[in-house]
Structure 1
Amino acid sequence: MIDLKPSINFWHDLKSNQTAGLWLFLGSRKSLQVVHPSIFQFLFWGVVAGGVNTLYSWMVAGQIGSLNPQGLISYALWPFIALIVGIFLSQRMNNQRLMLVPALLWLVLDSNILLIQCLLQYLGDNNILNFLPDSIYNFLPNFFMILFVWQSIAVIWVFSRELKWPWWERCLIMFATVCTLVVWQMSVKEQPIWKVEDVAPSISEDVLYAQGNLLKKSLDQIQLGDFAQTHWYFLGVAGDSYDSVFSSEVQRIKAQFDTRFGTLGRSVQLVNDPDTGTTLPIASQTSIQLALNRIGQQMNRDTDVLFLYMTSHGLANQFELENAPIDLKQVDPRWLRGALDQAGIKWRVIVISSCYSGSFIPALQSDNTLVITASAADRSSFGCNSQADYTYFGRAFFDQAMREKTTLHDAFLDAQATVSKWENAQDFEPSEPQWSLGKNMELMLPQLEKHLFPSNNPAIPINHIEPVQMSQP
């Protein structure tokens, strides 16, 4: 029969109940032999379990939001059910001390499992577990859901064995419990203990009516190329609105090109950022095509060159454009090549900073084109953090190498080495930035670079800032 030890003192009972919870995790009936039930232990472990679950929910919510009482009530349902089961068992066994045992064991095991989840969440939030493959992160939520189901099944398992329930009764109760727990676990996601209210993205009336004029003004200010000399034109595209690093990066690089590389009056920036909706034109397929067409019209196509910089998240053969709630079409390599060809731009330097950006090279490469990408076709790039001013590649190439070097190739090699150093320091998989140079551009580039890197423009000293640890998917 069940051997419930009498209470000795609070701390002794606490230690015994912690041990009982570990035995319960193993499905051992020994948990019933060492557990010390009391109303003080039940209340203590109830507070601990509720606190740890709230902590975990707060961490998952990104430390924002507010306490959701409905989530707490939903969580309290299961120890309450376990308490009802305990009352039933205590009446059936004529042992009043048995009443608190199922709920107490459940709370102890739940507290320990959630403490492990909190630890893993903390390590993940602080990039301490970056060495783990992505498959582990994808598996962990399902693994902990299985543990949540198991902690309830374990209570039934040890009691059914101890009380020698018939096999059909064990199977029926366990099956009903599993179904109920799975359904509850899937639905409770809508009511977490710490909840961040979803705010539907919106476009204000000011933004709606400003965009047409902003794009027209940006395109109208593009100056004609002078046939007597070579000019560089700059087009910067910040694709995603939910990470402000892309907006910051494009605006800083455009300012750098205008002041250092002579593109003032010949530069355009297209930015998806909720903070710039009334000041800068947004980035879309339409605005990109119109900007390329305007640059193609204004430039001397035989001697002028376009520097196109695009930064965002990405997938293989996809550069992401996002500015909710607008449903934007995505940029793929064939579309971008067609847009450049349609604009009639002959000499092209294209730099794409996103994950898997190397997948754009085959479609974009031509005899008259230099293509630089922040990553290989099958690799991620890093640095997309809203607290950062540049991505890893953007900082290494533009904010450092382009200020110190006098050729694009030297700047690329320097940035490649810098990015590799940062990635090695964080144990990231190398992004492997790519360089692809057409045969005509190889001959033409030294002449073009004389106008990009004027000899009388001294290098500007910079502060080398270590990058923030984030991936750029």
Structure 2
Amino acid sequence: MIDLKPSINFWHDLKSNQIAGLWLFLGSRRSLEIVHPSIFQLIFWGAIAAGVNTLFSWMVAGQAGHFNSQGLVSYALWPFIALIVGIFLSQRTNNPRLMLVPALLWLVLDASILLIQCLLQYLGDQGYLDFLPDRIYNTLPNLFLILFVWQSLAVIWVFSRQLKWPWWERGLIMFATICTLVVWQMSVKEQPIWKVDDVQPTLSEDALYAQGDLLNKALEQVQFGDFSQTHWYFLGVAGDSYDSVFSSEIQRIKSQFDTRFGTFGRSVELVNDPNTRTTLPIASRTSIQQALNRIGQQMNKESDVLFLYMASHGEPNHFELENAPIDLKQIDPKWLREALDKSGIRWRVIVVSSCYSGSFVPALQSDNTLVITASAADRSSFGCNNEADYTYFGRAFFDQAMREKSSLKDAFGDAKATVSRWETAQGFESSEPQWSLGKNMELMLPQLEKHLFPSPNNLPANNPAMLPTTASP
């Protein structure tokens, strides 16, 4: 039997019910010995739980959007079910005061857990949790989802033990509860309490008509190579428009090559970024092929070399091109190799920065090619953060190592070690950047590098590497 304590006063009952909620979290029947049910306590905790859930939903939405009453109604389903369970139990045990207990305990525990979620969300938004490895920080939503399931199961567990239900009845009710929770969770994602309406991406008329001219102008300015000396040509590709780090990185690296490595007049940047659609040509398979063809036409194929740098998200054998609402074809290793071969470019330095970019190495490697990737074929790369100017590999290789070293091999070795230190400090699995050098390129590269790197006398002094901002692939 369940012997409920009489109500004393509002504040005493409030404290007792909060403690009862903590015992419920532990699955202890002591929660039934401490709880003080009353209609005022139910209303109060119902208001607190609804308010905290609304606050958390607002924080998750980025403090934007609008209140969604349907989301609140969906949330209220669970205390309502708990109230029905209480009515059933009160009739079954002939104890009318038991009617409010399941709903009251559920609301107390839910409000307490959500308050912790709100605190963690605030700390995360303010950057106070940046020290946590991403794999731990990203598990927090799943952890709290488990706690949400447990708070419902805990009510059943405590009452079934106290009332000595048979094992099959406990199991059946818990199974039904879990099934209901799964169905509810699948539907509630579309109806949060604080909702941000999806804004469909658009392509302005100005951008639509500007793109043809932008690509033509970018290709027309590519100069002929002087047959009396070796020149480097640069082509940069920023694949994804929804992460601005790729756009920022490509533009910064192109500027670095133009001013430091002498590619001014021999460089092209293709960028997918909503902010540059009227100023820079977009990155697509068509524009990449045309840029490669133009560079191949203008360069001296015997002595000039192409430096191709591509940065985006990726999957195995897949480099992502995205610029919604434009439907872009994706890049795979076979297509990229065929595009390079069509261009007639002989000497190639290809750097692919994306997750699983090592999967591009087998198709791209040749006797006349150096292939560098930011990760192994089965590894992720890191640093894809809208608040960052470079990805991890981009910063380590271009912004640091290539400013300090006088050979690509030394720069790659230095960048690989730097990225490894950053990943270890952040708790990431090592991305394992790759290096594949063809036998002809191995002989030719030292001669080509003399025309790429400034004189060692002009190199800046080494600076200690700074740990970059935490980010995900």
How does the TM-score come out when normalised to structure 2?
Answer: 0.89
Give the deviation of 1:21 after TM superposition.
2.5
- The change in CA–CA distance for 1:159 and 1:442 in structure 2 (over 3 A counts) is closer
- The change in CA–CA distance for 1:21 and 1:229 in structure 2 (over 3 A counts) is same
Aligned to 1:308: 308
SS at match of 1:104: helix
Aligned to 1:130: 133
Question: Map of 1:42-61 to 2, 5 A cutoff?
Answer: 42-61=42-61
Checking the alignment, whether the CA contact within 8 Å between 2:260 and 2:454 is kept in structure 1 is no
Checking the alignment, whether the CA contact within 8 Å between 1:231 and 1:303 is kept in structure 2 is yes
Q: Name which of structure 1's ranges 115-124 and 282-291 shifts more when overlaid on structure 2.
A: 115-124
**1:194 and 2:233 aligned:** no
Aligned to 1:471: 472
- The change in CA–CA distance for 1:58 and 1:461 in structure 2 (over 3 A counts) is farther
Aligned to 2:432: 432
Aligned to 1:76: 76
**1:212 and 2:215 aligned:** no
**1:411 and 2:403 aligned:** no
Q: Which amino acid aligns with 1:78?
A: W
Q: Name which of structure 1's ranges 70-79 and 251-260 shifts more when overlaid on structure 2.
A: 70-79
- Give me the whole-angstrom Cα distance separating, in 1, the residues matched to 2:454 and 2:166: 89
Structure 1 gaps of 5+ residues are none
Checking the alignment, whether the CA contact within 8 Å between 1:237 and 1:250 is kept in structure 2 is yes
Give the deviation of 1:105 after TM superposition.
1.2
Deviation string 1:28-68 (CA, Å, 9 cap, x unpaired) is 54432221113343233223322332343234434443332
Checking the alignment, whether the CA contact within 8 Å between 2:134 and 2:472 is kept in structure 1 is no
Q: Name which of structure 1's ranges 411-420 and 441-450 shifts more when overlaid on structure 2.
A: 411-420
Deviation string 1:295-350 (CA, Å, 9 cap, x unpaired) is 11111100110000011111122111111122212111111111111111000011
SS at match of 2:269: strand
Checking the alignment, whether the CA contact within 8 Å between 1:296 and 1:344 is kept in structure 2 is yes
- Give me the whole-angstrom Cα distance separating, in 1, the residues matched to 2:462 and 2:212: 37
Q: Name which of structure 1's ranges 51-60 and 421-430 shifts more when overlaid on structure 2.
A: 51-60
- Give me the whole-angstrom Cα distance separating, in 1, the residues matched to 2:172 and 2:323: 51
Aligned to 1:279: 279
- Give me the whole-angstrom Cα distance separating, in 1, the residues matched to 2:409 and 2:175: 65
Q: Name which of structure 1's ranges 40-49 and 199-208 shifts more when overlaid on structure 2.
A: 40-49
SS at match of 2:451: helix
How does the TM-score come out when normalised to structure 1?
Answer: 0.89
**1:238 and 2:261 aligned:** no
- Give me the whole-angstrom Cα distance separating, in 2, the residues matched to 1:231 and 1:302: 11
Checking the alignment, whether the CA contact within 8 Å between 1:219 and 1:291 is kept in structure 2 is yes
Q: Which amino acid aligns with 1:324?
A: A
- Give me the whole-angstrom Cα distance separating, in 1, the residues matched to 2:145 and 2:472: 27
Structure 2 gaps of 5+ residues are none
SS at match of 2:458: coil
- The change in CA–CA distance for 1:184 and 1:170 in structure 2 (over 3 A counts) is same
- Give me the whole-angstrom Cα distance separating, in 1, the residues matched to 2:165 and 2:402: 76
- The change in CA–CA distance for 1:108 and 1:205 in structure 2 (over 3 A counts) is same
Deviation string 1:115-135 (CA, Å, 9 cap, x unpaired) is 45556667877345427479x
- Give me the whole-angstrom Cα distance separating, in 1, the residues matched to 2:388 and 2:426: 16
Aligned to 1:256: 256
Give the deviation of 1:440 after TM superposition.
0.9
Aligned to 2:340: 340
SS at match of 1:309: strand
Q: Which amino acid aligns with 1:130?
A: P
Aligned to 1:65: 65
Checking the alignment, whether the CA contact within 8 Å between 2:131 and 2:426 is kept in structure 1 is no
Aligned to 1:155: 155
- Give me the whole-angstrom Cα distance separating, in 2, the residues matched to 1:386 and 1:132: 19
- Give me the whole-angstrom Cα distance separating, in 2, the residues matched to 1:101 and 1:353: 57
SS at match of 1:469: coil
Q: Name which of structure 1's ranges 415-424 and 348-357 shifts more when overlaid on structure 2.
A: 415-424
Aligned to 2:452: 452
Question: Map of 1:305-384 to 2, 5 A cutoff?
Answer: 305-384=305-384
Q: Name which of structure 1's ranges 185-194 and 304-313 shifts more when overlaid on structure 2.
A: 185-194
Identity percentage of aligned residues: 79
Q: Which amino acid aligns with 1:253?
A: I
